[in-house]
A and B are shown apart, each in its own frame.
Chain A
Amino acid sequence: MGALATTAGQEVIIEIGCMPVQVRSGSSAFLQMIAERYSGFLNPDASPVFELNVDLVAPGRITEEEDLSVRFESGRWLIERGDLRAEWEPASRRGLIVQSPNPYSIDTALRIIHSLILAQEGGLLVHAASAARNGKGFLFAGISGAGQPTISRLAPPDVTLRTDEISYLRRNGHGYVAHGTPFAGELARVGENVQAPLAALYLLRKGPDNAIEPVSANEAARMLLENVLFFAQDPKLVSLVFESACELVSNVPVYRLTFFPDERIWEWIA
């Protein structure tokens, strides 16, 4: 497989949100699995901004933590859950993940590490579908069941679905760029590795008819914050995430989009 990159076939470079991450493992089979899962997001020529070594262990409980725990201690982030233990040191930009050979634990670790880096840059990981059309990016957020997978399914051919699960937003001046992610949701397929300036955020809900209305900035911020993925118990980063959400809704139009689930809704999104 040509996707496995560089030395001795023992690493892959996964580029999400223009942030290449080198993942190393002693297991070619594991890397093969990772390369397949993140196909479309591999960039063997990129210079990684950080490196992760994966130590594989036998399946079973790895830490005593039942729930996900993300905390900063002695210059490094510690990420623990029953199925994984990860460390990431921002200063050296190196990390270690201890897990069994499965694709889900590293997926969790990647989401969290990306969220930590994004928070410091003014970006956000958001539980929202996103799509690109005519060079513009659109985000669709809402409570569970509001219809993100549905609206993604209804997208016409000229729409590029970037994710139906986790959207990746990076600051660009006063605006934001929405990137596709491989973090799959209900559609169980990864998004496409494309980016576009964020033109609007839609807060979804299903209804008997299609309707669109502007949303006040404070309601938009509240809704956005409910959908931001951020797990660290860190006051400084929590403040930064709050500021980023406020900044986004101050600079990007936000609408309440009530939709009847058929393809006509996409006539309203352009």
Chain B
Amino acid sequence: MSAIYIARANEVAARSLDGEMMIMSARDSTLFTLNPVGTIIWQSADGKTTLEEIVENKICAEFEVDPEEALKDVESFVADLAGHGIIVVSDVPISLATTSLGGS
């Protein structure tokens, strides 16, 4: 399976309130509140770290979850965020300067 890289899109607004990340798509005003796992994924979406590394080093290190199950859930979650244009997914590392909405 090839590596998956994720990066935060540029045209989103995000803010941590009470320890939960709130994200609004500036494109369609959809509002997301991320749970602690989602918040870790969002904060780790630097375009350089693979999804597998995020799951292994950040999520499995903090929560008692099966790595394979976790990766499957995270892929689904990331696909949902990507569908709303608030995260960018690629099979190569992503430069943060190029993560405008509509980019990939």
Contact = CB atoms under 8 A, between A and B. Distances in A.
Interface of A: 216-218, 221-222, 225, 235-236, 238-239, 242-243, 246, 249-250
A207 B17 CA distance: 28
Interface of B: 11-13, 15, 17-18, 20, 22, 24, 26-27, 29, 31, 33, 101
B26 A236 contact: yes
Contacts of B20: 218
B22 A246 contact: yes
Contacts of A235: 11, 26-27, 101
B15 A242 contact: yes
Contacts of A217: 17-18
A222 B30 CA distance: 11
A238 B24 contact: yes
Contact of B15 (A216, A236, A246): A246
A109 B44 CA distance: 43
Nearest to B20: A218
Given A222-B33, A236-B26, A246 B11 contact: no
Which of B26, B27, B31 has the most CB atoms of chain A within a 10 A radius of its CB? B26
Contacts of B18: 216-218
A218 B33 contact: yes
B17 A249 contact: yes
B17 A246 contact: yes
